[in-house]
A = this chain, B = another copy of it.
């Protein structure tokens, strides 16, 4: 914390940041090449930045990725393709458990829900948006922003192969129109076994040293053929060296580094307790549910994976927010800015204070998952209701630009497991009763004289939601069709949707609307004070980070940690019991694998959830690694970055090649990746 203390003492920083640290999730259009040059002696120029951007990709709504050949080959994490691979599996072939390697091009299997996107055009639309939102706050601000964004996106959205979105950067300080090229035909090329992709399971998640091969390869197709992708990264056979400068591109999802002290206190005192408690209890139910038999273990594994990952991330955030000295320091640091726009800070504080007693109700009614069946029923009911009003006045997720996503979800062919559905629904109903109280009219309507599990059983056994044609009919039929439906799950939505919408509206208008408008003011004041010398909070849009391979001292565990692990270490650590069991392919290949091959690596790159699958590359635009995690200290990265302990975690390009060649004998892939010349 030495560097942070220094900054505070100098009184130089408005938000506490160390100008010399490898901090920042920078946009491609405002990248600090001079800073990189000063520290590392290399200055990325515009062609380099453009090439890096065009060689990067994202799996829409899920993960980051990169192009690694000129034939549409895309690299990402195993956990990013997990859903798809699970969907392709059957009783005969469990590709999650056993991995999958397409021997030939024609064996590559299509993933219906995967989409690859490439950012190919950036336009500054700040002035247009600010003009529309000027002087507005609350509900009016939210509506104005929605309408202005829709109006800007519309003319850009010329074809189905294109996605356009207005991106809000610096909390309203800058608005950019991002245009992406879409690849909607995506096929799996190869994935290893889950056991090695997630070796160490939840105990090792967000930890380092680490021994994971969390990779997958998919391919973008166009017109039924591998897409031509001249912009792609090269490949380093050796991987990165200690202290080497490395870059990471990708779509970090969300950070809260520019939020106010009042918002951090709200996160600490309200959000973190609720989320960690809900996820802990849900974890306990799933754990015991999965113990009961193998089938239940199979159907709940993915939910538990997601739940535990989110729980551990929130515990890390809570630990960061529980650093009271840091919290007070951050609060003190915003004093200068607060003097410029005191009203904006006050508005945020008041909005949150008012919402505090409602947050738990809001979160449970609106945000917590109710199982696939009820989630879809809500989508059907709301899609009908929302489409009946003007685009600019709808809930965000039902705007025209988002409706294809809703339709895709509602029409999903993913399997429904009644036992899992009942568990989720009963859990949610229990939480609704706990939060609203047994005497609340909504609770009485939902439960009547039954227990949560009795209601869940009645609904899950009674719904016809398994019938895709019926869903299509309801989605297309709109309000009339939904109103006429006799499906108990649909009728059930009407019992609580009013209460849910009521508290949602308070959140959207009185909290988010007010807070966003206030942040727009703060952003202006900040630009006036310090110029655009910083990077915006993460927004699930493409960013570029720089850093170096570096060991560290763990503040969480008090240990010194070296920057590399080696493939031999995985064999030493295996116990044979999940989650520390190596797959057969590894045990069989033990003698062939060079144990000194660098396996996973820790670097100072500033990343966050959403960066999963990000390429890590060197100055020559050669892949040296594949990001799949951060260490436990990096979870504080939501709120601040500390170069001393915050680490990104990647698989080295050397380990990927070693595994592809010697363990999986995926020669076709090895040839496609084989070291190309530098792309500078």
Contact = CB atoms under 8 A, between A and B. Distances in A.
A204 B281 contact: no
Contacts of A453: 291
A422 to B, nearest CB: 10
Nearest to A202: B434
Interface string A282-293: 111111110110
Contacts of A270: 322
Given A281-B281, A449-B577, A203 B357 contact: no
A438 B200 contact: yes
Contacts of A200: 438
Interface string A414-454: 00000000010000000001100111000000011111011
A538 to B, nearest CB: 25
- For the residues of A in contact with B, the DSSP-based class is helix
- Taking the full assembly, how many copies of this chain does it contain? 2
Contact of A580 (B202, B289, B438, B577): B438
A332 to B, nearest CB: 14
Interface stretch (A97-105, A132-140, A271-279, A666-674): A271-279
A277 B451 CA distance: 25
A27 interface: no
Interface residues of A, number: 57
Nearest to A436: B557
A449 B576 contact: yes
Interface string A541-580: 0000000000000011110000000000000010111101
Q: Which of A289, A318, A558 counts the most B-chain CB atoms under 10 A from its CB?
A: A289
A318 to B, nearest CB: 6
Contacts of A391: none
Contact of A269 (B207, B322, B439, B577): B322
A284 B280 contact: yes
B273 A438 contact: no
Given A437-B203, A556-B357, A577-B454, A284 B288 contact: yes
A294 interface: no
Interface in A569-603: 573, 575-578, 580
B577 A277 contact: no
Contacts of A273: 272-273, 276, 315, 318, 322
A491 to B, nearest CB: 20
A203 B438 contact: yes
Contacts of A315: 273, 277
Given A202-B434, A207-B437, A281-B287, 10 more contacts: A204-B438, A268-B322, A273-B273, A273-B276, A276-B276, A278-B280, A280-B281, A281-B281, A282-B284, A450-B577
Name the 3 nearest CB pairs between A and B, nearest first.
A284-B284, A269-B322, A288-B288
8 contacts: A207-B437, A268-B269, A273-B322, A280-B281, A283-B284, A285-B288, A287-B288, A292-B292
